[in-house]
Chains A and B, each alone.
Chain A
Amino acid sequence: MIAHHLPALQVVVPLLAAPLCVMLRGARAAWLIALGVSWAMFIVAGSLLARVLREGVISYALGSWEPPWGIEYRVDLLNAFVVVLVSLVGALVISYSRESVDHEVRREQHYLFYAAYLLCLAGLLGIAITGDAFNVFVFLEISSLSTYVLIALGRDRRALTASYQYLIMGTIGATFIVIGVGLLYLMTGTLNMHDLAQRLPAVEHTRPVLAALAFLTVGISLKLALFPLHLWLPNAYAFAPSVVTAFLAATATKVAVYLLLRFYFTVFGAPLVLGEMPLPEILLALSLAAMFAMSTVAIFQDDVKRMLAYSSVAQIGYITLGVSTGTAAGLTGTVVHLFNHGITKGSLFLLLGCMAMGMRRITLQHIRGIGRIMPLTTFGVVVGGLSLIGVPLTVGFVSKWYLVLGALERGWWWVAALILASSLLAVVYVWRIVEAAYFKAPGEQVAKLREAPLSMLVPAWVLVVATLYFGVDTRFTAGVAARVAELLLGGFR
């Protein structure tokens, strides 16, 4: 019985838990609710994925109104995979969060903090799971508004301006998405994505549909921080509380990438998106620009959180590069990097949160010699750094392998070469962290630090170990990604 309702529960349970936190008001109670709900959602996501693998697409009609008249939840392999990523990271982040949030957020705000976190989780899961184009917008706004709030809770006053800037750019992005959806609705009379996919071919080459494609591309690109629409991201990541940065970096942009894939390949279909517009070319150029420009900017950052934030924009370049190749291998790379980069950046920002327990800002000067003082934390950062570079035995290598294959399949040997060259830039910024952490004498302040508590180290290290494990055993990640890529290119029609 309950198995039938899992798609709805996946979103509604965290959504209902948020007001519960507000009504109970206790800091500890709120954390326990968030913890329980997050792990429960991971279990739900896991069983959804298992069911999709077993039985294929799941459709759930909310309010029992048959789609397209009512809103439909539609789970296939792609969004089940994304939902697993989001809920896994959510569960680990919340397990980690207690000490970090105690340290960085005022105690009387905790119950609201966890409520906002639960709303953000519900919003992201809602975007990922829904089969209705307008419902996407509603849940996008739930996740966005809660994100603005969470970012603004950072200790530095620049968190406020970062949040404001994101609010402006995020709202423009969301409005663009509404315009795109509206144009599609105008031409087809439906909002259901599956229904849209069936009705669009009849009007495929009309101007409103092409304009809709343009608006959705720009709108979603704002949310996923595609270069040069990434301006909100570095400050938002740098000044948000550690827990928030880790959660957002691992999930929010990834869900936006999912949305792009969903609209491109399910709604519009590969032939239109890849074949008849210069879209792949534009995407390729922007991806390459992101990889090089943003990695270069990352090299010159002294603030480690900011450095990794710029690195995120660069890594998003890899993800969109896979889309632009339009090949099965390239798309496999995109989907697998979604997951791989999610867990890598999640682990890195969680570990930086461990360091933030002892210092207000984490700059290269501040972390001098920290390798000896916080050995487990620092070593985890090194592993994450290696994955950013794409060293074999880490997940970063797996992603780049498929991306290179995808580029070669298109005959773009120069793109393959550029992917490898850009990795060298990552070597430089990761080396700067390693150099400061291991080859500099600890200063007075660093010497006073202690290793982070186990309650923080364990969840962070689960992700570090995952970075290594899925770097060797790729049956699950690359296996699912390859099947997803096949589905995407085959179209769902």
Chain B
Amino acid sequence: MTFTAHFNYWVAMALLTVGLYIVIARGNLVKKLVGLSIFQTSVYLLYISAGKIIGGTAPIIAEGLRVYSNPLPHVLILTAIVVGVATLALGLALVVRIKEAYGTIEEDEIHSQDEEP
């Protein structure tokens, strides 16, 4: 179990930490969504790294190639990417409406406005 053997996974973890941190710690509604995207992409890296075979090629069957990387994680992550962008679009639409209703997209200011009756 060497460091390099799991290097891809380490980076995925680090990205996950960064993404989740932005989502929870930041108060700006747009930045939170950017963080959410990073959080999700870290999972893409996790899946795709797991599907890679050293010496393999892209799973498009052709003459003369023997070893292909695993196609299933690719399929799953294609779905996940699409779901991710759908969520982002909806989230941003909400942000636009929140801006129109509150005049701000900072979480703290929204809270303080809601507390006033």
Please give the residue numbers on chain A whose beta carbons come within 8 Å of chain B beta carbons, in ascending order: 134, 137-138, 141, 145, 148-149, 152, 157-158, 160-161, 163-164, 167-168, 171-172, 175, 178-179, 182, 185-186, 191
Residues of chain B lying within 8 A (CB to CB) of residue A141: 83, 86-87
For the complex, is B98 an interface residue (Cβ under 8 Å from A)?
Answer: yes
Are A175 and B43 neighbours in the complex by a CB distance under 8 Å?
yes
Mask, B41-70, CB within 8 Å of A = 1, is 001001100100000000000000000000
For the complex, is B101 an interface residue (Cβ under 8 Å from A)?
Answer: yes
For the complex, is B14 an interface residue (Cβ under 8 Å from A)?
Answer: no
Interface size class of B (residues with CB under 8 A): 20 to 34
Are A160 and B97 neighbours in the complex by a CB distance under 8 Å?
yes
Partner of B97, one of A152, A175, A182: A152
Q: A145-B86, A182-B43 are in contact. Are A161 and B110 (CB under 8 A)?
A: yes
Query: Which partner residue on chain A sits nearest B37 by CB separation?
Result: A171
Mask, B20-36, CB within 8 Å of A = 1, is 10010000010010001
Known: A141-B83, A160-B94. 16 other contacts (CB 8 A): A141-B86, A145-B87, A145-B90, A152-B94, A152-B97, A157-B102, A160-B101, A161-B102, A164-B95, A167-B91, A172-B23, A179-B46, A182-B43, A182-B47, A182-B76, A191-B72
Q: How near does chain B come to A240, taking the closest CB pair, in angstroms?
A: 14
Partner of A134, one of B50, B76, B87: B76
Partner of B91, one of A164, A178, A185: A164
Residues of chain A lying within 8 A (CB to CB) of residue B50: 182, 185-186
Are B98 and A182 neighbours in the complex by a CB distance under 8 Å?
no
Contact sample, A vs B, 24 pairs, CB 8 Å cutoff: A134-B76, A138-B79, A141-B83, A145-B90, A148-B94, A149-B90, A152-B94, A157-B98, A157-B101, A157-B102, A158-B114, A161-B110, A161-B114, A163-B94, A164-B29, A164-B98, A167-B87, A172-B20, A175-B39, A175-B40, A178-B43, A179-B46, A182-B50, A185-B50
For the complex, is B18 an interface residue (Cβ under 8 Å from A)?
Answer: no
Q: Which of B20, B23, B36, B80 has the most CB of A within 10 A?
A: B80
Q: Which of B40, B46, B76 has the most CB of A within 10 A?
A: B76
Partner of B98, one of A137, A161, A171, A175: A161
Mask, B87-108, CB within 8 Å of A = 1, is 1001100110110011000000
Residues of chain A lying within 8 A (CB to CB) of residue B47: 182
Say whether chain A's binding surface is mostly helix, strand, loop, or mixed.
Answer: helix
Are B90 and A167 neighbours in the complex by a CB distance under 8 Å?
yes
Residues of chain A lying within 8 A (CB to CB) of residue B32: 168
Residues of chain B lying within 8 A (CB to CB) of residue A138: 79, 83
Q: How near does chain B come to A132, taking the closest CB pair, in angstroms?
A: 11
Query: Which partner residue on chain A sits nearest B20 by CB separation?
Result: A172
Are A171 and B79 neighbours in the complex by a CB distance under 8 Å?
no
Partner of A164, one of B43, B46, B94: B94
Q: A141-B83, A179-B46, A182-B46 are in contact. Are A168 and B23 (CB under 8 A)?
A: yes
Are B98 and A160 neighbours in the complex by a CB distance under 8 Å?
yes
Q: How near does chain B come to A86, taking the closest CB pair, in angstroms?
A: 22
Partner of A171, one of B29, B46, B76, B87: B87
Q: Considering the complex of A and B, which 3 residue pairs feature the smallest CB-CB distances, nearest first? A: A157-B101, A164-B94, A141-B83
Residues of chain A lying within 8 A (CB to CB) of residue B79: 134, 138
Q: How near does chain A come to B21, taking the closest CB pair, in angstroms?
A: 12
CA–CA, A16 and B72, complex, Å: 27
Residues of chain A lying within 8 A (CB to CB) of residue B83: 137-138, 141
Q: How near does chain B come to A50, taking the closest CB pair, in angstroms?
A: 34
